[in-house]
Amino acid sequence: MYPYTNYYDALYRQNNKLIREVEKAINGEYNAIHCYSKLAKLATNEKEKSQILEIRQDEIKHHKQFEQIYTQLTGRKPQQPKLSEECPDVYLEGLEFALQDEQMTVDFYLEVADGASDPSIKEAFRRAAADEQNHAVWFLYYYSKNK
């Protein structure tokens, strides 16, 4: 006897999970964009400020990509994201916060990529994970240098 599998339900559940993950990614990028604006203002020199603003531009790019993926999956634009994390007001604490956030984001994006069946979504999350890892290295460098 063969087990009955309702493929429509399985696909529907997988799609809903992906939509929730994309929403989480959109909100995370939104928070990072705002935090890195704050960090750039707190930077101790122009070189660090410039690099943090470059990282912020990557986050804006990711945010736009994830909004497009959300629209592709749902047929509608995502809700306006909300700030859910408080970025520290002290530069060194902000760098540590950003470093930890970037590292957690790498893991999350790789999990999303592994679970996605659409090759373009898989690639978008893998590319974003690589960018986030690069950002973490910069934040670690600046954290170590300023400590």
What is the predicted pLDDT for the residue at 10?
Answer: 44
Q: Tens of pLDDT along 49-68?
A: 999 999 999 999 999 999 99
The yes-or-no verdict on residue 5 having pLDDT over 80 is: no
Q: What is the pTM of this model?
A: 0.89
The three state secondary structure string of 90-145 is CHHHHHHHHHHHHHHHHHHHHHHHHHCCCHHHHHHHHHHHHHHHHHHHHHHHHHHH
| Burial bucket for residue 144 (CB in 10 Å: 0-12, 13-18, 19+) | exposed
pLDDT confidence tier of residue 18, bands split at 50, 70 and 90: very high
Pick from 11-25, 74-88, 99-113 the range whose average pLDDT is largest.
99-113
User: Hunting for tokens 């529907």 — which residue is that?
Assistant: 12
